[in-house]
Amino acid sequence: MRDTEHILVVDDDRGIRELVGAYLEKQGLHCTLAANGREMWAALSRATPDLIVLDIMMPGDDGLVLCRELRAGKYRAIPVVMLTARDDETDRVVGLEMGADDYIAKPFAVRELLARIRAVLRRTHMLPPNLQVTDAAAMLGFGDWRLDTAARHLVGPDDVVVTMSGAEYRLLRVFLDHPQRVLSRDQLISLTHGAGVDLFDRSIDILVSRLRTRLGDDARDPRYIKTLRNEGYVFSSTVTIIEPK
């Protein structure tokens, strides 16, 4: 990971915002600080960060609203680490459903936040070597869908572009690079979030559910992602490399 990664910290608490910013700068990262959604969008218009640290509990548009808006627009690929007011599973689940890549509960140690930021940045650019995603194809096809690996988005029937979060993209890449292979929840957590990350199994189930929604895949009779009881998931569709015309 480069030592010039740009982190945008969005938190209405000035003390936390400045503490985090100062610590990350001291660790060699470049930081931009924002107190609310308005300042966040202004900062994004000036420069695209490598990662956003986003507080949930803020006046006006809270972190969940802002995360959903990020995932729906041109900034959808930027990884997001959410700050939650308490270690509540509901907050974590909703944050993951909105497209967050990771979360950390307040109060937190800045060293732990740094470790999570670095882990997310690493897995944004690479996967573990035991199941490395190939880089050869710019377009992968399956069923009625195509995944543009250069633009990092789905192209559906009738050439409709479907946006995805960074976590959804990484999960789909893992499935497409390893079709017909059973992948356990632990493997998928490692591949999409990094080894040793403290996540619960349900986070992968939520991510799979979100990806199924993108694909219009019925969980009761799936065409693409099948659930194997007590084993994990398998991508059952044939995957092809689409050569450029």
Check whether the bond before 157 is cis (ω within 30° of 0).
no
| Beta-bridge partner residues of 240 | 141
The CATH H-level (homologous superfamily) assignment of domain 6-125 is Response regulator (3.40.50.2300)
pLDDT tens-digit readout, 9-35: 999 999 999 999 999 999 999 999 999
pLDDT tens-digit readout, 56-76: 988 888 888 898 888 777 787
**CATH topology match: 6-125 vs 129-241:** no
pLDDT tens-digit readout, 153-168: 899 988 888 878 777 8
Tell me the domain boundaries of the chain.
6-125, 129-241
- The rounded distance, in Å, linking the Cα atoms of 161 and 154 is 6
What CATH architecture applies to the domain 129-241?
A: Orthogonal Bundle (1.10)
- Give burial (CB, 10 Å; 0-12/13-18/19+) of 130: exposed
